[in-house]
Amino acid sequence: AAPGPRDHLVWAIFNTLYMNFCCLGFVALAFAVKARDRKVSGDVEAARHFSSKARCYNALATAGSVVLPLLLGALVVTGVIHLSKLAQESVGFFTYQFSGSDDEDQ
């Protein structure tokens, strides 16, 4: 008696509640529930199919919810660094120094 396929229900609930990127957590939850229903009814092949889909959508939801905020944070940091360098370079362009001697007249 081999154990049935995993349904990934806890992972799907976590993705649905905390990291629901583009509703992928909800889709993973639907497939996880289908996998659990098929496992309980004894249809191991359908349970394995739905379990695979639930795992795929859970992985996508987790990756999207972790990678996208990190990417957005990196873009903000690099944008701030670029703007600060640009501001420092433009300060010299916009400042006009008044001096008592003209170097052009000599």
Where does the pLDDT of residue 11 fall: very low under 50, low under 70, confident under 90, or very high at 90 and above? very high
Q: What number of other Cβ atoms are within 10 A of residue 81's Cβ?
A: 10
Residue 59: how many other CB atoms lie within 10 Å: 15
pLDDT, tens only, 21-55: 788 999 999 999 999 999 999 899 999 999 999 99
- State the pTM of this model: 0.68
- The candidate with the shortest Cα–Cα distance to 19, out of 74, 73, 57, is 57
Name residue, tokens 């976590």.
14
Measured distance CA(77)–CA(38) in Å, rounded: 47
